[in-house]
């Protein structure tokens, strides 16, 4: 399948939706791609009414001229102005004049003894599973890690009947208090609403998981709280140590990164001509900032910059919030010592911390231990080794996400030939389930 757009937006979270809508208002043909089957991103997806105001945007989107391309995952850029994507088993070639990357962020995971046990999950991952039907009523859940998402996850899980044993925030009470007192009224209002949903849920600061244990699945969690160990029985441990930006596609396209984030100018344009970036990949800043940046990117990509100045000013005003967010939830150094020598850091390739400690760089770790070379393509262990060992990630190789071999078959730069998947090849059956299907 071939599609061509004036403006192509990758990622249908807040930033991407805002970009798509603004670009469409500029009378441009706009395509909005997301690998999930529905728009909204991690934050607005899943049917639960969300305090951050997703509904009006989603409503606008449904009435707009934006072409939805959901359930579609971008894999590669075979030639400038052309992206290759998979929609299920269908190959999609996406041509564009302007591209907006709004690829969002993912949760950061830190390895600790027992983190690979079944039912130890990403906080956002468990939230998504519960929203899509995993029964959680009556289950005891410990939510641990860092960042505002922990509370949102706890609220969702509680809404579905889970018993939240505790929410463990590694940040100090002092950091959080400083952050909270400087929140604007609107944000404070959101926090209060969230707080109301969480009445009776124990919230611990200066608290983080030390280890998880159990037979065949997690049964208890040992945490450190204000320097003292505590053990809790639980059925699930939901972990997330704040967010890591999804910069892989930007890196593949050659966009310059700075301190791990995509570098943009005031129009959200990256170092690559005609490629814009908005939202978390440019800096973890939350929904409001993402919406502003998305709108700026959409207008600039759409070619109507009349309203941009005002938006840029608003965006500037929000920057201190992003900086305070980063400071409040900065990971404490004690967390670098959670993993023991025997702890697996790379789950795909079963690489322990002890083996990685023999290496001096991400490249060396990859080369001699295969760390990061499995199906997660380093998305989990890359940020972990960056935090624990101070390693810097290196270049991204295609495909950006694991892709069917036959999808890459059609990745010719001459897009006029062999664009349809070969019927004979599709007919070939594969008796092997893909063990790499991990969320």
Task: State the nearest-atom distance from the C-beta of 364 to another protein, in Å.
Answer: 5
Binding residue (CB under 8 A) for another protein from 95, 187, 363, 379: 363
207-213/203-204 β-pairing: unpaired
Q: Which of 49, 56, 428, 439 binds another protein (CB under 8 A)?
A: 428
Select from 174, 162, 233, 235 the least CA-distant residue to 200. 162
Chosen residue from 67, 198, 375, 389 binding another protein by CB under 8 A: 375
Nearer to another protein, 331 or 403 (CB): 403
Question: For another protein, which is the closer residue by CB, 241 or 362?
Answer: 362
Q: Which is nearer to another protein, 341 or 436 (CB)?
A: 436
Other beta carbons within 10 Å of 321: 18
Q: What are phi and psi of 300, to 5 degrees?
A: -65, -40
C-alpha to C-alpha distance for 289 and 300, rounded to whole angstroms: 16
Nearest to another protein of 33, 348 (CB atom): 348
Look-up: residue for tokens 């999808």? 407
Apex 242 CA angle, 236 and 246, nearest 5: 110
Give the nearer residue to another protein in terms of CB position, either 204 or 391.
Answer: 391
| Cβ closest to another protein, residue 280 vs residue 349 | 349
x/- binding map, residues 65-94, to another protein, per CB under 8 A?
Answer: -----------x-xx---------x-----
Which regions of 71-174 does DSSP assign to beta strands (E)? Answer: 72-79, 82-87, 90-101, 105-107, 120-122, 140-146, 163-169
Measured CA to CA, the distance from residue 288 to residue 266 in angstroms comes to 17
B/e letters for 49-71, b = 16+ CB within 10 Å, e = fewer, are ebebebeebbeebeebebebbee
Preceding amide of 387 cis, omega within 30: no
Of 28-36, 260-268, 326-334, 428-436, the segment contacting another protein by CB under 8 A is 428-436
Instruction: Work out the end-to-end distance of the chain between its first and last CA atoms, rounded to an integer number of angstroms.
Output: 26
Interface residues for another protein in 378-417 (CB under 8 A)? 397-399, 402-406, 408-414
Size of residue set near another protein by CB under 8 A: 43
Instruction: Pick between residue 183 and residue 415 the one whose CB is nearest to another protein.
Output: 415
354 binds another protein (CB under 8 A): no
Positions that interact with another protein (CB under 8 A): 76, 78-79, 89, 349, 363-364, 367-370, 373-375, 377, 397-399, 402-406, 408-414, 418, 422, 424-426, 428-432, 434-436
């Amino acid at each position: 399948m071939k599609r061509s757009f004036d403006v192509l937006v990758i990622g249908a979270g807040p930033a991407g939706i805002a970009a798509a809508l603004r670009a469409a208002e500029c009378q441009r043909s706009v395509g909005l791609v997301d690998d999930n089957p529905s728009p909204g991103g991690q934050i607005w997806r899943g049917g639960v009414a969300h305090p951050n105001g997703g509904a009006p945007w989603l409503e606008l989107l449904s009435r707009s001229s934006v072409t939805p391309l959901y359930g579609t995952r971008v894999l590669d850029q075979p030639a400038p102005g052309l992206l290759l994507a998979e929609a299920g088993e269908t190959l999609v070639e996406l041509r564009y004049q302007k591209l907006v990357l709004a690829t969002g962020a993912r949760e950061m995971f830190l390895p600790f003894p027992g983190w690979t046990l079944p039912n130890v999950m990403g906080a956002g991952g468990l939230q998504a599973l519960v929203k899509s039907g995993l029964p959680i009523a009556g289950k005891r859940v410990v939510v641990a890690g860092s960042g505002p998402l922990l509370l949102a996850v706890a609220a969702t899980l509680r809404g579905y009947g889970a018993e939240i044993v505790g929410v463990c925030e590694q940040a100090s009470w002092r950091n959080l208090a400083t952050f909270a007192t400087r929140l604007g009224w609107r944000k404070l209002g959101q926090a209060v609403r969230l707080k109301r949903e969480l009445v009776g849920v124990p919230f611990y600061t200066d608290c983080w998981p030390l280890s998880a244990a159990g037979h065949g699945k997690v049964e208890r969690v040992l945490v450190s709280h204000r320097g003292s160990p505590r053990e809790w029985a639980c059925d699930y441990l939901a972990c997330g140590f704040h967010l890591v930006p999804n910069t892989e596609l930007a890196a593949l396209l050659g966009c310059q990164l700075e301190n791990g984030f995509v570098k943009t100018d005031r129009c959200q344009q990256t170092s690559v001509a005609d490629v814009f970036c908005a939202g978390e990949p440019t800096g973890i800043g939350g929904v409001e900032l993402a919406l502003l940046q998305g709108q700026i990117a959409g207008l600039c990509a759409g070619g109507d910059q009349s309203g941009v100045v005002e938006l840029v000013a608003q965006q500037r005003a929000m920057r201190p919030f992003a900086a305070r967010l980063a400071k409040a939830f900065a990971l404490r150094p004690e967390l670098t010592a959670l993993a023991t020598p025997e702890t697996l850091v790379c789950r795909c390739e079963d690489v322990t911390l002890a083996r990685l400690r023999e290496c001096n760089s991400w490249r060396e770790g990859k080369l001699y231990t295969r760390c990061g070379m499995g199906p997660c393509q380093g998305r989990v262990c890359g940020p972990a080794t960056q935090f624990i060992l101070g390693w810097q990630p290196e270049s991204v190789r295609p495909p950006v996400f694991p892709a069917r071999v036959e999808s890459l078959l059609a990745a010719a730069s001459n897009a006029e030939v062999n664009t349809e998947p070969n019927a004979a090849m599709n007919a070939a059956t594969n008796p092997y389930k893909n063990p790499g299907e991990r969320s």
